[in-house]
Amino acid sequence: MSDGSLSQAEIDALLSSGKSSSSSGGSKAPEENADTRALEGFLSGTVDSLSSNLSVMTGGTVTFSSPKVSNKTRDGFINELPSMVTVVKVDFTSGFPGEHLFLMSEDTAKSIASLMNNEDNITLDEMAMSVIGEAVSQMTGTLITALTNKTGNKSIASGSPEAANIPKATAALPSNAFPVAAYQVNLGDGKDHKIWEIFGASVASGIADALNAPPPNKTGGNSGGNANNMSSQNYAGAQNTGNQNGHIIGGAMGSPSSMQSVQFPNLSNTMTPREQGNIGLLMDVYMEMTVELGRTRKLIKEILSMGEGTIIELDKLAGEPVDILVNNKLVAKGEVVVIDENFGVRVTTIVSPSERMPDLS
């Protein structure tokens, strides 16, 4: 017969059961796992669009595999990377604001830039980084379009991409644990490529909550429909009463307090995610590029008096960069070079959008 005390085996059993119940009852780990699964399932549904858009931009066949999403720490993730990486930061500015970036090896970045520029042995200079940034911008546009369609949130937008090829230790990764989506990418060159998409913890949590939420207006739409039906019935009843009695009884129309004001979405001048994604369709359109040495103004009598040997002085100084125009709009400046027996121009400066605005007005 027991004296009421517990044996060591019984104490150990109670302690082990207490640990298991406390670990299973915690909320943080299940929430992180659920967020990761929701994000992975959603991103898997975008790989066809990613493959199609990048195929259009490169002129080849590009295939993305369904990503594997897992939570990483900065130190653990950096250990998986090659020594040099190309990082493209393209944060979300609204909808789910926060950190968002793509990361790839230096070789993968060169392969993408080579395909898009149709150039072999490319170096990751400023122009190549601009090309990589445009590719990532299209990938982000695909993600935003899918998120908008899935969640009904039309305010989702991202900033301009910032691309750099840097040592992995200097990559600006989120400070806390963050989810990473790893894509295997086939660029058609026989090499294995991997692209990582990184979300800030708050961004991933916000996206997962929106994906796991019930469809918008699922219950409100039904109740609204019932209210509309009731209003229609009251109005029809009022008409019938009016037809019978020669007048309409206002009480049958319902109380004015049941009416709701109409709300309209805010107007925005920003490009929609769908418009951002569709820019890939224009990549094979030809545009006229002109190099301008300079300009001057002449009277008609001076033009009529010109003949062979006439020297026309331009408004450019000797050695000053020449203007590069696309469809008569200034986009860059450069210097004249000779390639074999042909003239060429080496781009030295890309004109900023603020400098281009006066030409558009």
Extract the tokens encoding 119: 């150039």
- Which of residues 186, 212, 238 is at a domain's end? 212
DSSP secondary structure string for all residues of 158-202 = E---EEEEEEGGG----SS-EEEEEEEEE-SSS--EEEEEEE-HH
Grade residue 216 by pLDDT with cuts at 50, 70 and 90.
low
Compute the distance between CA of residue 168 and CA of residue 161 in angstroms, rounded to an integer. 18
274-283 pLDDT per residue, tens: 555 566 667 7
One domain, residues 43 and 169: yes
Has residue 9 been placed in a domain?
no
Locate tokens 């709009």: which residue?
A: 329
One domain, residues 291 and 189: no
Three-state secondary-structure class, residue 61? coil
Domain containing residue 354: 286-305+313-360
Percent of the chain's residues with pLDDT above 90: 17
Query: Given a cut of 50, is residue 179 above it in pLDDT?
Result: yes
Q: Which amino acid is at 159?
A: G
Locate tokens 């066809």: which residue?
A: 48
- Which of residues 152, 186, 212 is at a domain's end? 212
Helices (H) and strands (E) in the chain, counts: 11, 13
One domain, residues 292 and 208: no
Grade residue 195 by pLDDT with cuts at 50, 70 and 90.
very high
Compute the distance between CA of residue 207 and CA of residue 91 in angstroms, rounded to an integer. 14
Question: So what's the pLDDT on residue 68?
Answer: 92
Question: So what's the pLDDT on residue 198?
Answer: 93
Task: Look at the chain and report how many structural domains it folds into.
Answer: 2
- Which of residues 212, 242, 266 is at a domain's end? 212
Q: Which of 151, 171, 148, 179 is nearest to 67 (CA)?
A: 179
One domain, residues 208 and 319: no
112-151 pLDDT per residue, tens: 988 888 888 888 888 888 889 888 988 998 899 999 988 8
Has residue 262 been placed in a domain?
no
Question: So what's the pLDDT on residue 330?
Answer: 87
What CATH number did the domain enclosing 326 receive? 2.30.330.10
Locate tokens 């691309």: which residue?
A: 163
Q: How many Å is the maximal CA-CA distance in the chain?
A: 129
Residue 293 phi, psi dihedral angles, 5° rounding: -75, -35
One domain, residues 97 and 202: yes
Grade residue 227 by pLDDT with cuts at 50, 70 and 90.
very low
Query: Given a cut of 70, is residue 88 above it in pLDDT?
Result: yes
One domain, residues 61 and 145: yes
Neighbours of 40 (CB within 10 A): 16
Q: Which of 35-39, 99-103, 346-350 is modeled with the greatest confidence?
A: 99-103
User: Hey, which bits of 7-124 come out as E strands?
Assistant: 63-64, 68-72, 84-89, 92-94, 100-105
Collect all residues with Cβ–Cβ distance below 8 Å to 294 and sequence separation of at least 6: 314, 315, 316, 322
Calculate the alpha carbon distances from 56 to 66, 112, 203, 292 in Å: 20, 12, 29, 32
Compute the distance between CA of residue 360 and CA of residue 55 in angstroms, rounded to an integer. 32
248-287 pLDDT per residue, tens: 444 444 445 556 666 665 555 555 555 555 666 677 788 8
Has residue 120 been placed in a domain?
yes
One domain, residues 208 and 297: no
One domain, residues 44 and 149: yes
Compute the distance between CA of residue 124 and CA of residue 80 in angstroms, rounded to an integer. 22
One domain, residues 102 and 199: yes
Extract the tokens encoding 338: 């000779």
Has residue 129 been placed in a domain?
yes
What CATH number did the domain enclosing 184 receive? 3.40.1550.10
Grade residue 188 by pLDDT with cuts at 50, 70 and 90.
confident
Residue 334 phi, psi dihedral angles, 5° rounding: -160, -175
Has residue 240 been placed in a domain?
no
DSSP secondary structure string for all residues of 62-76 = -EEPPPEEEEE-HHH
Has residue 55 been placed in a domain?
yes
One domain, residues 194 and 324: no
Helix axes 201-212, 28-44, angle to 10 degrees: 80
Has residue 88 been placed in a domain?
yes
Has residue 184 been placed in a domain?
yes
Dihedral angle, C-alpha 20, 22, 24, 30, nearest 10 °:
-140
pTM to 2 decimals? 0.54
Extract the tokens encoding 79: 């250990």
Query: Given a cut of 80, is residue 233 above it in pLDDT?
Result: no
